[in-house]
Chains A and B, each alone.
Chain A
Amino acid sequence: MLEIKDLELTYRSTQGAYYAVRKVNLRINRGELYTLLGPSGCGKTTTLRCVAGLERPDSGEILIDGKQVFSSRDGIWVPPHQRPIGMVFQSYAIWPHMSVFENVAFPLRQGAQKTRKEEIRDRVMQALSTVHLDHLADRPAPFLSGGQQQRLALARSLVKQPKILLLDEPLSNLDAKLREEMRLEIRSVIERLGITTLFVTHEQIEALSMSDVVAVMNDGNIMQEAAPKDIYGAPTSPFVASFIGKSNVFAATVVSETAGETVVASAIGRLRCRSSFAVKLGDQVMVSVRPEDVAVADGRTSETDNLVQGALGQAVFIGDALECAVKIGDTEIRIKTPRDADLTSGAPVSLAIAPHHCRLMRAN
């Protein structure tokens, strides 16, 4: 279990100070895979490095299994080598002067208490077989492929049986095919071992497919924290809406409010929407609609759907679908339709959007 309370870290340079992390709070339950997702420079890696002890926060508190490893108030600082953690680095950080076996054995050979030779051997081989590398134990580490190095890094981070596993963009150096494979494999190893994991990535697909909880970070803050499905389906801010997947985001004003359904006036007309927070008449809000949730209206559209009239713009074939711009008044929204849809540029079109796909968000 990992808890971070009010974590703050400021970098100072000659140009002045800037916040890398400001007031980050999070809690990862035992066995959970928690992902920090965000653009580069958002503070996600810094947060992870604070947990590892590789960065020293200015203030806040970090607890691993209820034990403080950092607390500015109590003046506690546990150096990285004494923290019960394992970590996979972005570069894998495989020591090139050691064999595969020696790399994994290294964590067991550190520290005050001596581990017996046979025990080291057993535990290293166990860890290697978990990632299917046991047959390469004696190979010099530089003679491994990218995927194998990544597995080796994982085995090395697990061999000490840490309480927290930290993954710092571990897949970013792999090619697309291998990345897909390793996503599943890492997830299954973590699940099998039931290890509490903090995962940092800028790839939304990794975050959505691997995590129990995703937290989107921007500018040193956690913007939203939710299960993958919820964070995709119900973003609470324009940033999250457009950072995860694509989203049409536009401003609107609340014109009527009844239980469960809110009607807003927007640039593309009146829309019936779902709101996850209380609104009142006249509130300025933002609406987010995902391109794939917009359908070209035909006879089968449900009567509860919002119907919007517009003109088709340019369509782009992207393989599994067509992406198309639709001009509604002065506003343009993007829609995603089946790839065999018959769309003519400039033709009038009627769009159907279900109310539960129009998510209301607070205006900043």
Chain B
Amino acid sequence: MTLVSPAEIQSQSTEAGKGLFARLPFDPFTAISGAVVIGSCAIVLGLVGVVGWLSLVEGLPGDAGKALTLANYHKVFEDPFVLTVLWNTLQFCFATLVVAMPLGLIGAWLVERTDFSGKTVVLSLMSIGLLIPGFASAMGWLYLLHPRIGVVNTWLRDLFGLVEAPFNIMTIAGMGWVQGLSLAPLIFVMTAAVFRAMDPSLEEAASTHGVKTWRVMMKVTLPLAWPGILAAAIYVFVIGFAAFDVPAVLGWGNRIFTFSTFLLSVINGSEGLPRYGLGAALSAVVIVIAALLGYLYSLMQRKAHRYTVVTGKAYKPKLIELGRWNIAAWIGVVLYFSFSKLVPLVLLVYASLLPFFQFPSLRAFKAMSLSNYYSVPWGLATEALGHTLILMFLTPTITLAISVAFSWIVLKTRAPGRKTADFIAFLPHAVPNVIFGIGALLAALYLLQSFIPIYGTIWLILLVFVVARLSYGTRMTNSGLIQIHKELEEAAQISGATGFGTFRSVILPLLSPTLMYAWLWIALLTYRELTLAVVVSSSGNVTLPVVVWSLWSSGGLGRASALAVISMLLVVPLIVVYWFIAKRRGALAA
């Protein structure tokens, strides 16, 4: 006999706890998670609530009126300019969608449903595409299609002797074009998931009944994918409301505002005093619109789920053979990436080397120098870079810590209200992020300033960034945690591990690949984030993108371009690391 028989062991005293503590249906680890979840939910709802409250109040911080009033709403709906802005925004969102949808959809279809040979290239460029700041490509497009100095316009004018410039990027349609190009990857990611989750046997059933390939696509594939596609469309529409980079770079100078840019001009007081009440009322209107769209979105998601026949069978659908069309697909892919990223970025670099922008010529090349790079306000830029780096480290770390707490409560406990908590964590996905920025700004100014003075610090930015990434973070940790078999965790409990011990020695190691991937992605998004930072920034807490934007908006196009180029160069190593990790996760293989 090798083991001592249990009969021989002196009975070890197992403490049968009788106190209140032992009777609690959870352990301290769960209790801490619960507290984190409740706190986070309060913050998310609080930020929205502050917007709602201040939309009913007049006056500046310090002398805000006590009485509730609808005056701000009157201003929103009676000011023709505000209505123009809303109308602009709708047009802008629609144009964005018209551009992004076909591009993303075709990409997703190529990768998931055909034997296209460049899948890894598409997947890599699509995810990296999302990491290139919108303001950088918008700047590039301005240099291309500016009615006066745009390279293409100049060239066409000279070629055909035109008086009028044929293209003008500084319009709603132009903004939609640029924004659409940069949001196509988002449509791609969301619809690719839909195509992947679809049971190929449904399609094969149709083809075995003698239906032609393209008819299968139109009659089976597309109708099945429809709810998912619509959900992606709604999401991109909501993002259009929050988009700041592109409308700001292309429209600010000409006072063509969309929701985000107008909101900033209102609260910045670029025309007189900041009008916080008006900003809050405007935001409240958009919250209502977003809530309606969000409701539609959740309906679509549910429908998409019902259609999804997950078989768990490990067999790949029969791929459509492209044959000669493979080359056409390659040409399409190259064209898309040239237009959306390469050409604008090349122009950005070109512009950054010139004292003033001019058509490429021998004279222009002779004038090239690094003077823009020298004249960047380096003191400010390095300070901003420092802030950005701190945020890059803290945002993903805190977001994921909170996300893990959420997932733990939502998936691993039977806590009351856990479904609601999950819904609240998802809110930042459905509400334009800029609203949370406004909420945080207003909360800091009106409510917190006297006892937690975080206005003007990077902690305010951190707060907003974390809230904005919470929906992505919780989706990632949810799916990571679901994949960990319940019995792995129960086995640890039976083995004597406490709640925290189980988490540390079993859950965390198994979750770490997901966490690492999500961490890097959030860090990279943080690096490029302009919208949220610009809303809550003041002189003391600028980030790198904010400095680029303020150089640009104050007319220093060359210096702004130079700093944009530098900031992109700095992040290249991290993008390479991300690429390798994504590749190892299999995220870049169809």
Which residues of chain A are within 8 angstroms of B488 by Cβ–Cβ distance? Answer: 93, 95
Chain B interface extent, by class: 35 or more
| From A67, A81, A96, contact of B493 by CB (8 A) | A81
Do B27 and A79 touch across chains, with their CB atoms under 8 A apart? yes
Which residues of chain B are within 8 angstroms of A160 by Cβ–Cβ distance? Answer: 495-496
| A355 at the B interface (CB under 8 A) | no
Which residues of chain A are within 8 angstroms of B6 by Cβ–Cβ distance? Answer: 161-163, 193-196
Q: Which residue of B lies closest to A113 (CB)?
A: B12
Alpha-carbon distance A130/B4, docked complex (angstroms) = 12
| A250 at the B interface (CB under 8 A) | no
Which residues of chain B are within 8 angstroms of A162 by Cβ–Cβ distance? Answer: 6
Which residues of chain B are within 8 angstroms of A53 by Cβ–Cβ distance? Answer: 493
Would you list which residues of chain A between 81 and 123 have a CB under 8 Å from chain B?
81-87, 89-93, 95-97, 106-107, 110-111
Which stretch in A70-78, A218-226, A273-281 binds the other chain?
A: A70-78
Would you list which residues of chain B between 482 and 522 have a CB under 8 Å from chain A?
485, 487-488, 490-498, 501, 505-506, 509-510
Alpha-carbon distance A144/B4, docked complex (angstroms) = 27
Q: Which residue of A lies closest to B27 (CB)?
A: A79
| A158 at the B interface (CB under 8 A) | yes
Do A87 and B491 touch across chains, with their CB atoms under 8 A apart? yes
Do A75 and B494 touch across chains, with their CB atoms under 8 A apart? no
| A151 at the B interface (CB under 8 A) | no
Do B487 and A89 touch across chains, with their CB atoms under 8 A apart? yes
Alpha-carbon distance A110/B505, docked complex (angstroms) = 10
Which residues of chain A are within 8 angstroms of B12 by Cβ–Cβ distance? Answer: 84
Q: Which residue of B lies closest to A66 (CB)?
A: B11
Alpha-carbon distance A300/B509, docked complex (angstroms) = 71
Which stretch in B17-25, B47-55, B317-325 binds the other chain?
A: B17-25
What's the nearest-Cβ distance from chain B to residue A65, in Å?
6
Do A194 and B510 touch across chains, with their CB atoms under 8 A apart? no
Do B16 and A69 touch across chains, with their CB atoms under 8 A apart? yes
Chain A interface extent, by class: 35 or more
| A30 at the B interface (CB under 8 A) | yes
Would you list which residues of chain B between 453 and 502 have a CB under 8 Å from chain A?
485, 487-488, 490-498, 501
Do B17 and A78 touch across chains, with their CB atoms under 8 A apart? yes
Would you list which residues of chain A between 46 and 67 have a CB under 8 Å from chain B?
52-54, 56, 65, 67
| B218 at the A interface (CB under 8 A) | no
Alpha-carbon distance A195/B509, docked complex (angstroms) = 33
Do B14 and A91 touch across chains, with their CB atoms under 8 A apart? no
Given the known interface contacts A93-B485, A93-B487, A110-B501, the answer about A80 and B9 at a Cβ–Cβ threshold of 8 Å is no
Would you list which residues of chain B between 372 and 415 have a CB under 8 Å from chain A?
none
Which residues of chain A are within 8 angstroms of B158 by Cβ–Cβ distance? Answer: none
| A129 at the B interface (CB under 8 A) | yes
| B1 at the A interface (CB under 8 A) | yes
What's the nearest-Cβ distance from chain A to residue B22, in Å?
6
Do A127 and B3 touch across chains, with their CB atoms under 8 A apart? yes
Given the known interface contacts A67-B14, A79-B22, the answer about A192 and B494 at a Cβ–Cβ threshold of 8 Å is no
What's the nearest-Cβ distance from chain B to residue A96, in Å?
7
| From A65, A76, A192, contact of B11 by CB (8 A) | A65
| A204 at the B interface (CB under 8 A) | no
What's the nearest-Cβ distance from chain B to residue A311, in Å?
47
Which residues of chain A are within 8 angstroms of B493 by Cβ–Cβ distance? Answer: 53-54, 79-81
| A25 at the B interface (CB under 8 A) | no
Q: Which residue of A lies closest to B3 (CB)?
A: A193
Do B27 and A84 touch across chains, with their CB atoms under 8 A apart? no
| From A75, A107, A163, A195, contact of B495 by CB (8 A) | A107
Do A110 and B496 touch across chains, with their CB atoms under 8 A apart? yes
| B5 at the A interface (CB under 8 A) | yes
What's the nearest-Cβ distance from chain A to residue B186, in Å?
33
Q: Which residue of A lies closest to B494 (CB)?
A: A87
| B79 at the A interface (CB under 8 A) | no
Do A97 and B509 touch across chains, with their CB atoms under 8 A apart? yes
What's the nearest-Cβ distance from chain B to residue A28, in Å?
13
Alpha-carbon distance A84/B22, docked complex (angstroms) = 17
| A44 at the B interface (CB under 8 A) | no
What's the nearest-Cβ distance from chain B to residue A85, in Å?
6
What's the nearest-Cβ distance from chain A to residue B136, in Å?
40
Which residues of chain B are within 8 angstroms of A110 by Cβ–Cβ distance? Answer: 495-498, 501
Alpha-carbon distance A93/B502, docked complex (angstroms) = 13
Would you list which residues of chain A between 114 and 173 have a CB under 8 Å from chain B?
126-127, 129-130, 156-158, 160-163, 166
| 9 cross-chain CB contacts under 8 A | A76-B17, A81-B498, A82-B496, A87-B490, A95-B510, A158-B3, A162-B6, A163-B6, A195-B6
Give 6 closest A-B pairs by Cβ, nearest first. Answer: A110-B496, A107-B495, A93-B491, A93-B487, A89-B487, A194-B5
Starting from the known contacts A89-B491, A107-B495, A107-B496, 11 additional A-B residue pairs (CB-CB under 8 Å) come to A56-B25, A65-B11, A78-B17, A79-B493, A82-B17, A84-B12, A87-B490, A111-B496, A192-B1, A193-B3, A193-B5
